């Protein structure tokens, strides 16, 4: 079962018992703007820039833009997901340069809720082979 916990400025989803490959796939499909970058081990997933007022709207030339990052913690199940949303505002007189305003906890909660819903709606047809690694 999925639980939600909050510590300081970190927004997280705790007790994710799905296989890592499934968790990664769900995060990549539900991170706003789609995936833009992924760490070497596949546990840090960064999304494209998006409009902070609408998670599904790209931030092409908006005054404000946001970017979400999801970090999958834990060496084995259950995993914990941390969600961070960073807000940026365009510099005056510039069309392409942005300054970081800071982390937006409310926006991170929206992203977390979207991912949490997708995790909860995953069919229960889990296959043991999904999480099998030979080495």
Nearest CA to 32 among 54, 6, 13, 12? Answer: 54
Residues in Cβ contact with 18 at an 8 Å cutoff, skipping those fewer than 6 apart: 26, 77, 79, 119, 122, 126
Q: 133 exposed, middle or buried (CB, 10 Å; 0-12, 13-18, 19+)?
A: exposed
Supply the range of the domain harboring residue 20: 3-122
Q: Going residue by residue through the chain (135 aa), what tens digit of pLDDT does each one get?
A: 344 444 456 799 999 999 999 999 999 999 999 999 999 999 999 999 999 999 999 998 899 999 999 999 999 999 999 999 999 999 998 888 999 999 999 999 999 999 999 999 876 555 545 455 555
With respect to residue 72, please indicate whether it lies within any of the assigned structural domains.
yes
CATH number at residue 73: 3.30.530.50
Number of H helices, E strands in the chain: 2, 9
With respect to residue 64, please indicate whether it lies within any of the assigned structural domains.
yes
With respect to residue 33, please indicate whether it lies within any of the assigned structural domains.
yes
With respect to residue 133, please indicate whether it lies within any of the assigned structural domains.
no
Q: What is the pLDDT of residue 126?
A: 53
The total number of structural domains that make up the chain: 1
Q: pTM for the whole thing?
A: 0.83
With respect to residue 128, please indicate whether it lies within any of the assigned structural domains.
no
Q: What is the pLDDT of residue 125?
A: 52
């Amino acid at each position: 079962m999925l639980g939600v916990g909050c510590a300081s400025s970190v927004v997280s989803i705790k007790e994710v018992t799905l296989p890592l490959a499934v968790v990664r796939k769900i995060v990549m499909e539900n991170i706003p703007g789609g995936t833009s970058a992924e760490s070497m081990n596949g546990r840090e997933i960064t999304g494209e820039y998006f409009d902070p007022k609408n998670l599904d709207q790209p931030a092409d030339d908006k005054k404000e833009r946001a970017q979400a990052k999801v970090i999958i913690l834990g060496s084995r199940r259950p995993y914990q997901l941390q969600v961070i949303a960073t807000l940026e505002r365009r510099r005056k007189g510039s069309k392409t340069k942005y300054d970081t305003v800071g982390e937006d906890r409310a926006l991170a909660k929206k992203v977390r809720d979207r991912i949490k819903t997708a995790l909860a709606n995953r069919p229960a047809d889990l296959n043991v082979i999904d999480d099998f690694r030979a080495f």
